[in-house]
Structure 1
Amino acid sequence: MQTKYEKIASTIRERIKNGTYPVDSLLPNQTDLVLEFGVSRMTIKKAIEILMMEGLVYSQRGMGTKILDHSFWDKDVSPIKEYDGLSYQMEKQNKKLESSVIKFDVGFPNKEIQKKLLLKAEQPIYQIIRLRILEGKPFVIEHTIMPCDLVPNLTTDILEKSVYTYLKKGLGLQFGGAYRTFQADRAEEHDKKYLECDDSDPILEVQQVIYLKDGTPIEFSKSRNRYDTRSYSILDVDYS
C-alpha cells in the first residue's frame, strides 16, 4: 500500500508527464500543495524529494521547485537509503517484477557469514539465489543468506514473490537499518548465464547486511546488477 507522500508524488509525476506542469515552469508552492492534498508540509516535502530523486524536479530554497520533465538517468535508479526490497520499489513504479529461484538450500555458515550475521557455526542458514525479472527482462541476481531460526517456514512460493513482505507482514519483523558497500566486478558464470552478460561486461555488486530494530542482523546479500540496467542514488541538497 502506498503512503500519502507516494500517492502525491504519483499524482505530480502524472501531471508532469501530461503537461499540466510544463517544462521549465515552477511547481505550485508547498503551501498550495498542502491545501490541495490536505496533508502536512512534511508530507509534501517527502513527495517532492521522491521526484527530485527521479530527476523530474529540482528544488532550492528561495527559488521554488522547477519542472525538468525528464529523468537524469537512463536506467532504474534505487535510493541508497531504501531497504524495503526490490518488489516494493517496483510496485511503487507500477512495474512488473517476477522472481525465478535458481538455488534454495539449507546449510551452515562459513566464518565470513558467521561474522557478518553474528552466528555460530552450527546455526543453519538459508542459501538463496534468485533472478529478478523486470518487465520480462533479466534485471538482477540476488545471492541471499538468512538465519533459519529468524525466518521460519520460508518456501519457494514466498521466494517467487516478496521475501520482505513475508518478513514484515507474515512474521511481523521490523527493519532498523542496513549497511551497504558498492563495487565493480567482472561478470561471473551466473551473470553470463542469467543476466546475458558478455565476458567484458562489468557488474555492479551491492553487498548489504540488513538489521532488525533490535540490532539483530537478519540478512547478508550480494546483488549482481548489469552495468547498463541499474544504478543507485542519494539525495544531497543544501537547503541553507
Structure 2
Amino acid sequence: MYKYEIIANEIRNKIKANEFKINEKLPDEKTLSNMFKCSRMTMKQAMDMLVSEGYIIKSRGIGTFVRPQYGPDNKNKRYSNHPNTFGFSSNFEGYDKKTEVKEFKVIEANEEIVDKLQLKRGEFVYSIKRVRFLNKKPIILEQIYMPIDKIVGLNKEVVENSLYDYIENSIKIKIYNADKIIRAKSANNDDINYLKIEEGDPIIEMEHVVYSQNNSPIEYAIIHYRGDSYELHFVTKKE
C-alpha cells in the first residue's frame, strides 16, 4: 500500500469515527503534511483520493470540508460503494465479507476479450467467475478476464481474496485507472442461480477495463450487482 493510501485510510477512519465532523473545515495541506510527516505531493494525492470517494470537498479560496455522508448506513439495508474506488475489500471495510469462486481457468481469448485487453489472437487469459457476499447475502457476480502474461502466478487462493492487493503488492503493478460503463439490465440465468433472485429482477451491470500505470489493460470484467439491495454512489463536482 502506498503512503498516500495509508494517509487517506487514516483520515477516512477519523471521518467515520466522527473525529473529523460533518461540515468541519480541515487543516490546509501544508499543516496536514506536517501532521502525517509526508510531502505536500503525497498529502495532495491522499486528499484527491478522498475527494473522489466523496468524503471531503474542496472549495477554491475557502478550504476543504468533510462532506455529509450518504453511505449504506443511511439506506435501510442497501449496500453502496463509489465506482471511482478499486476493489470489493476496500469498498466494504467493516462488513462481514465472503468470496466464492465458481470458475477459475485459463482460456483462449475471444474477439471481444482480445479487443478489450489489447491482445493478439491466440493469446490466453484467466477466466474467473466469483460471487461476493456481504453479511451472508450474495450481492455481486463478477466475470473477470486477466492476461496470463501480465498477471503472473495467479491461483485460486489469490482469487478467493483481493486480486487488486495481489496485483499491487505481490507482483508490483500499480493500478492507475479504469474505463467503466454502467447500465440497467434484467437478471439472466447466472444472476438467478448465483445471486438467488427471480427472472426479470433488476441488475446493475458494470463493464470495465482496468489499466496499469503504463496504460496497459490488465483486467476486463463484467460485474452484476443486485438491483434490490445495491446502489452505486457518485460524486460530481463543478469546476
Q: With the length of structure 2 as denominator, give the TM-score of the two structures.
A: 0.76
Would you say the 8 A contact 2:53–2:82 is kept in 1?
A: no
Whichever residue aligns with residue 236 of structure 1, its letter is K
CA pair 121-66 structure 1, distance change in 2 beyond 3 A? closer
Distance verdict in 2 for CA 1:99–1:36, change over 3 Å:
same
Q: For the Cα contact (< 8 Å) 1:181–1:207, is it kept in 2?
A: yes
Determine the structure 2 residue equivalent to 1:236: 237
Aligned to 1:76: 80
Q: Are the aligned partners of 1:185 and 1:205 in contact in 2 as well (CA < 8 Å)?
A: yes
Task: Quickly say closer, same or farther: Cα 1:170–1:60, change in 2 above 3 A.
Answer: closer
1:107 is aligned to 107
Q: What's the counterpart of residue 26 of structure 2?
A: 27
Offset of 1:132 from its aligned partner?
A: 1.7
CA distance in 2, matches of 1:107, 1:14: 41
User: Which amino acid in structure 1 is aligned with residue 88 of structure 2?
Assistant: L
Give the drift of 1:222: 0.6
- How far apart are the structure 1 equivalents of 2:214 and 2:46? 29
Equivalent residue of 1:164, what SS? helix
List gaps (5 residues or longer) in structure 1.
none
Residue 233 of structure 1 aligns with an amino acid whose one-letter code is: F
Q: Which structure 2 residue ranges, 5 or more long, are not aligned?
A: none
**Residues 1:39 and 2:38 are matched in the alignment:** yes
> Relative to structure 1, is the Cα distance of residues 212 and 53 closer, same or farther in structure 2, using a 3 angstrom cutoff?
closer
Aligned residues with identical type, % of pairs: 31
2:63 counterpart residue number: 64
Distance in 2 between residues matched to 1:128 and 1:114, nearest whole Å:
16
Contact 2:109 2:121 in 1 (8 A): yes
In structure 1, the residue matched to 2:183 is 183
Cα distance in 2, alignment partners of residues 215 and 10 from structure 1 = 26
Q: Which of 67, 79, 88 matches 1:86? A: 88
State whether structure 2 residue 211 is matched by structure 1 residue 199.
no
Displacement of 1:149 in angstroms is 3.5
Q: Secondary structure at the match of 1:167?
A: helix
Aligned to 1:141: 141
**Is structure 2 residue 131 aligned with structure 1 residue 162?**
no
Instruction: After superposition, give the CA deviation of every residue in 1:98-153 in whole Å (9 maximum; x if it has no partner).
Output: 32111123332222223223344433332221112234332311101223343444
Q: Structure 1 pair 26/103, CA: closer, same or farther in 2 (3 Å)?
A: same
